[in-house]
Amino acid sequence: MAQVKIYGLRSALHPSQKEISAAIHGALMAAFQLPADKRFQRFFYLEPDEFLYPADRSERYTIIEISCFEGRSVEAKKALIRELFERLARAGIQPQDVEITITETPKHNWGIRGAPGDELSLNYKVNF
C-alpha cells in the first residue's frame, strides 16, 4: 500500500497530470512491486502565492509525499527515489525540481476496506 500526495503549481502540473501520475505509479510498480491496479494519488494544485520555494527551483518544482506500510528495505526505497527522478525527468520535471519524502508506518496504523491494515490479505509483498 502506498498513498501519494503531489504538490505543485497548477499551471505547471495540471497540463501534465496524466504523464506525472503514470511516472509515479510506474516507479512504485518497479521499485515496490505494487500491482498496476493499486494507484492511490492526490494532486494538490497551488497558486503562485500559495507555494513558496527557493529561487534555484523552476515553476515545475514538485513535492511528492509517499505514505506506505513499513517493511521495505533501504535498497527498495532508494530504488524508488531513483526511479522517480528518472521517470519524472522523462515527464518534463528535472531532478533539481523534485523533492520526495517516504513515510512508513506499521500496517496496524492503517484502516482499509473496513479492517486494520495488519489484518488484510495483500496480493503483493511489502517486506523485501
pLDDT tens digits, 8-32: 999 999 999 999 999 999 999 999 9
Q: Look at residue 86 and tell me if it is in a domain.
A: yes
Q: Look at residue 10 and tell me if it is in a domain.
A: yes
The confidence score (pLDDT) of residue 128 equals 58
Q: Look at residue 126 and tell me if it is in a domain.
A: no
Q: Look at residue 124 and tell me if it is in a domain.
A: no
State mean pLDDT over 87-93. 97
Query: Which residues constitute the domain of residue 57?
Result: 2-119
Residue 54: count of CB within 10 angstroms of its CB: 6
* pTM: predicted TM-score of the whole model, two decimal places: 0.91
